[in-house]
Amino acid sequence: MVIRVHQTPTAVSRLNSITPSRIEVVPVSIKVSVFVATSLDGFIARKDGSIDWLTAANASVPDGEDFGYRDLIKTVDVVVMGRNTFEQVLTFGEWPYGEKRVVVLSSRSVGIPDGLTGTVSSSSEAPATLIGRLSRQGAKHLYVDGGITIQRFLAAGLVDELTITLIPVLLGEGRPLFGPTGRDVALVLAGTRAFECGFVQLRYRVGKAT
Ligand SMILES: NC(=O)c1ccc[n+]([C@@H]2O[C@H](COP(=O)([O-])OP(=O)(O)OC[C@H]3O[C@@H](n4cnc5c(N)ncnc54)[C@H](OP(=O)(O)O)[C@@H]3O)[C@@H](O)[C@H]2O)c1
């Protein structure tokens, strides 16, 4: 009989040296990515939630340029988004996530349209609890979206990669991408790309909190 034990990678290497061979240690490894566009002054939406400035900027983007989104989403098992983002996406008319599993975070009950109940669910779990559950269900890569939601995952030290596409506009005010973290969060630059249309993309790996 094989006993499956879920442990973090660090604990795994320690356990492997002391456990009998019939115990198989299964690391809980799940990658959490953020992929988001912000104004140069760091807002993801206006105060009222609108992203008209982003839609306007997209008019200058050449056909077929998606800034790497399709490559990212192909590898994502579960999209995790805040209620505000979910409600905004519903106004787009067309559901952009196809058959991809989506978890909407909210402390209240979330109205999920009938056509989406097969893939969309809601949860009020804290980031660590949610990641633990999704990992046990086999998820390997989460895409976390929505400003408040991203801030909560960052504050919990649970984001691995941040891809931020800077849009050349200052909004002055709005809903910020970042907020209080409770401590410094070190970032390691993993790549930059400048696009002819004026967008600049920054990719960071999130280092250990200090
Ligand atoms: N520029 C971009 O690339 C981009 C990307 C995504 C979104 N947006 C825009 O940003 C806006 C939404 O961002 P936002 O910062 O307002 O909010 P958000 O993160 O989408 O949603 C925040 C809400 O999510 C719920 N929530 C998050 N984590 C939770 C948890 N662990 N447990 C329970 N509930 C949790 C809470 O809902 P309750 O209040 O119901 O408890 C919270 O008020 C929208 O306008 C959207 O269009 C822009």
User: 119: Cβ below 6 Å to ligand 1?
Assistant: no
Q: For residue 162, what are its two tokens?
A: 């941040």
Sheet arrangement for strand 185-194: 120-123, 101-105, 78-82, 141-145, 31-39, 161-167, 200-209, 185-194
Q: Convert the pLDDT of each residue in 46-91 to its tens digit.
A: 999 999 999 999 999 999 999 999 999 999 999 999 999 999 999 9
Ligand 1 pocket test, pick from 39, 41, 44, 103 with the greatest ligand atom count within 8 Å of Cβ, gives 44
Q: Convert the pLDDT of each residue in 93-125 to its tens digit.
A: 899 999 999 999 999 999 999 999 999 999 999
> How many structural domains compose the chain?
1
Distance (Å, rounded) from C-alpha 78 to C-alpha 44? Answer: 21
What's the rounded mean pLDDT across residues 130-158? Answer: 97
Q: Is residue 42 part of a domain?
A: yes
Q: Is residue 23 part of a domain?
A: no
User: 156: Cβ below 6 Å to ligand 1?
Assistant: no
Q: Is residue 198 part of a domain?
A: yes
Q: Is residue 116 part of a domain?
A: yes
User: 54: Cβ below 6 Å to ligand 1?
Assistant: yes
Tell me the C-alpha to C-alpha distance, in Å, between residue 71 and each of 35, 75, 78, 150, 194. 11, 7, 15, 20, 18
User: Across the chain, which distance is largest between two alpha carbons, in Å?
Assistant: 61
**Nearest-CA neighbor of 161 among 176, 148, 150?**
150
User: 49: Cβ below 6 Å to ligand 1?
Assistant: yes
Q: Is residue 149 part of a domain?
A: yes
Q: For residue 54, what are its two tokens?
A: 């982003």
Nearest alpha carbon, ligand 1 atom 15: 147
Instruction: Report whether 57 contacts 169 (CB < 8 A).
Output: yes
Q: Which domain holds residue 204?
A: 29-209
pTM of the model: 0.89
Tell me what pLDDT residue 28 has.
55
Tell me what pLDDT residue 49 has.
96
Q: Is residue 14 part of a domain?
A: no
Nearest alpha carbon, ligand 1 atom 45: 49
CATH number at residue 185: 3.40.430.10
**Nearest-CA neighbor of 78 among 104, 115, 46?**
104
User: 145: Cβ below 6 Å to ligand 1?
Assistant: yes
Work out the pLDDT band at 26, boundaries 50, 70, 90: very low
Nearest alpha carbon, ligand 1 atom 32: 124
Q: Tell me the DSSP string of 12-29.
A: HHHHHTTS-TTEEEEE--
Q: Is residue 6 part of a domain?
A: no
Give the residue with greater pLDDT, 6 vs 140: 140
Tell me what pLDDT residue 207 has.
84
In ligand 1, which atom is closest to the CA atom of 37?
A: 3
Ligand 1 pocket test, pick from 32, 52, 66, 84 with the greatest ligand atom count within 8 Å of Cβ, gives 84
Distance (Å, rounded) from C-alpha 64 to C-alpha 44? Answer: 22
Distance (Å, rounded) from C-alpha 161 to C-alpha 190? Answer: 9
Residue 196 Cα to ligand 1 midpoint, Å, equals 30
Q: Is residue 8 part of a domain?
A: no
